[in-house]
Amino acid sequence: MPSSTSVDTLVIGAGPTGLGAAKRLNQLNTATWLLVDANEEAGGLASTDVTKEGFLFDVGGHVIFSHYAYFDDVIAEALPNEKDWYNHQRVSYVRRKNIWVPFPYQNNISVLPVEDQVQALEGMIDAAEVRVRAKDAPQTFDEWIMRMMGQGIADQFMRPYNYKVWAFPTTTMQCKWLGERVAAPSLKLSLSNTLYKKVAGGWGPNATFKFPAEGGTGGIWKAVAKTLPQEKLQFKRKVVNIDAKAHTASLDDGSKIQYKHLVSTMGVDYLIDNLKDADQSDVKQLKAAKEGLIYSSTHVIGIGIRGKQPERIGDKCWLYFPEDNCPFYRATIFSNYSPNNCPAEGAKLPTLQYADPTQGKPDSTPKDGPYWSLMMEVSESSAKPVNLQTILAETVQGCVNTELCLPGDEIVSLYHRKFTPGYPTPSLGRDAALSAILPTLESKYNILSRGRFGSWKYEVGNQDHSFMLGVEAVDKALYGAPEMTLESPDFVNGRRNAERRLTPSA
């Protein structure tokens, strides 16, 4: 007979947001709680896959940097030793016209051909004049680009690159999400750097970052999960519906969990579609509102390569690709993050193919390493379809086209996984949709929908943000405290948030 249980707070999902909620509940120790997840282990969209050859690939490009002291405390508790981490200085470039342009592109036009420098500077001058005359704020991402950067940088980089990232045109996106995500250029700095042939770097909150020595990004969240009472973490239990008025979650094994408060990190669109016994007027409103929520899918493609990492790759971290000579918008030199992201040098692996298949069929006899690896991301949407049958080959060819790989490089491992959804799009209708959805779920049914797709705010979708969305949701549910990360992204992104700490001594 299916079981039934009751808790004060139920948490759905063991990604960063769910683990943040669980960590706070365990710290407060004031109420009964339980976390359930459909997967076999913690991590969610911050997990790591391992190929049969022993290469690690994250679910997209993740690095650890933080706006919160509480988040730092939790990570330090889970992985406390210096040997647990590699610390990195970000080395990022944009690949355009066979030139590596230091990131951010808009601050480093000094390395471009003269005609592109002139086009970019003229556009920035025009944009400055537009800003002086403007009487209202830009309404779309495209308007923001034109007003802040001008036609030159818009056409050279911002429009083509962002279409590749989001899989939707910049004209269909809002601009409230930008904050610290996109650097607004300084005309004075750009002009000075161009004349003196200098480059600018170090911009942004992830100018320095760290990465776990073992287990990829997923290893972080497995370690965090181990700091919690294991009997309160229940995996391989999928929630199939929520009875809104009875405050009960039904699971795929036929069991039910009754709760007083629910912190759900499921996609809010999935939650709405599987909400039972809500008022019909609310159901109609919620289903209409969720049509304003748009997402893209992400294809993560990993390549394991035999040989010492080449000098042309150097200490590069992640790289941006606005041009159409490759399908990916970003490539990460994943072997640079930790040597343990690749098999040991003594592992004997057969060569699957050359990077350029026209080089012929390689000898498939297993041979030693060393090895290095690349991880690429390709977006997909109804506006930007992807051919599943050819995307892997197109990505490998794109690596040759952009000189990430040479034609004769020996590929020993290929990885491809599609994630749907991948990115929550900051669409023009997003904020109106969320203002109709989130308050209704909370005020009428005691459901706090939080996380990357639970609250659908990309501007607070990094690992530290996602974790704190869970922490703050618990404080809201139990004490009515404000949720600064959800409600004021610009505020939390512009400061060091140290109001909460994991231990009183901290």
DSSP letters for 31-59: S-EEEE-SSSSS-GGG-EEE-TTS-EEES
Residue 1: the pLDDT is 40
Which residue's entry shows tokens 């030199």? 333
First-last CA distance in the chain = 47
How would you write 150-183 as a 3-class SS string? HHHHHHHHHHHHHHHHHCCCHHHECCCCCHHHCC
Residue 89: the pLDDT is 86
What are the E-state strand segments in 62-206? 85-89, 93-96, 99-102
Residue 57: the pLDDT is 97
Residue 201: the pLDDT is 66
Record the pTM. 0.94
Cα 417 to Cα 301: distance, rounded to the nearest angstrom = 7
Q: Which of 283, 246, 247, 284 lies closest to 264 in space, CA to CA?
A: 247
- 474 burial type by CB count under 10 A (0-12 exposed, 13-18 middle, 19+ buried): buried
* Beta pairing partners, 416: 301
| Residues of the chain predicted below pLDDT 70 | 1-2, 179-184, 201-206, 504-506
Cα 59 to Cα 411: distance, rounded to the nearest angstrom = 21
Cα 54 to Cα 71: distance, rounded to the nearest angstrom = 30
Residue 135's φ and ψ, nearest 5 degrees, are -105, -5
Residues in the chain: 506
Cα 305 to Cα 370: distance, rounded to the nearest angstrom = 9
Residue 450: the pLDDT is 98
CATH number of 4-46+217-293+427-493: 3.50.50.60
What is the separation of C-alpha 306 from the centre of its chain, rounded to a whole number of angstroms? 28
Residues 300, 374 contacting (CB under 8 angstroms): no
Cα 203 to Cα 351: distance, rounded to the nearest angstrom = 40
Tally Cβ neighbours within 10 Å of residue 100: 17
* DSSP structural state of residue 307: S
418-428 tens-digit pLDDT? 999 999 999 99
Residues 407, 356 contacting (CB under 8 angstroms): yes
Residue ranges matching CATH 3.50.50.60 in the chain: 4-46+217-293+427-493
